Amino acid sequence: MDDDCVAVVQQSWNIVKSKAKLREHGMNLFELLFTEYPDWRQKYFSHLGDAPIQDLKKNSSKFRAHCTLVMSTLNSWVVNLDDLEMVIASVEKLGRNHADRSITSAQFEDIGGVVLKYLQTGLGEEFNDEMEAGWKTLLQTVVQIIKDGE
């Protein structure tokens, strides 16, 4: 990623963080994920049971913790794009950890699409073409790193 790409991703991420806590964004992102891929709830998150998403948001500390961890990891990648070796190592570790649960680069590609949709919806008109291009580059790079580790 070139400096301009990094700058627009970080700029858009700062806007995201100004709108709500990472935990809130994480729970909303997972709500969108389960809307886009309803079978994933049972396939990958069966341990959460079948409670409605609003109940999970309020009553499941495990759900809130995972949502916060996901967003904290994404935050770490974005703010550390000036240290690509660290970001790559983190993505590689994430890929290995999720492979044990049969979550592969294909699923991460789908997740990337959900992240992009979440950003587009959440930022509205603030989310410009340069930001979209930057996020696509970042998310495609994440998927490629995971794919290379499979």
Summarised one tens digit per residue, pLDDT across range 132-150 is 999 999 999 999 999 999 9
Summarised one tens digit per residue, pLDDT across range 85-115 is 999 999 999 999 999 899 999 999 999 999 9
Whether the Cβ atoms of residue 68 and residue 26 lie closer than 8 Å to each other: yes
Summarised one tens digit per residue, pLDDT across range 38-86 is 999 999 999 999 999 999 999 999 999 999 999 999 999 999 999 999 9
Residues 6+ apart with CB under 8 A from 48: 41, 56, 60, 62, 63
pTM of the model: 0.94
CA dist 77 and 100 (Å) reads 22
pLDDT at 54: 96
pLDDT at 16: 95
pLDDT at 57: 97
Whether the Cβ atoms of residue 142 and residue 108 lie closer than 8 Å to each other: yes
Tokens of 108: 């991460």
Q: In the predicted model, what is the mean pLDDT of residues 21-46?
A: 96
pLDDT at 116: 98
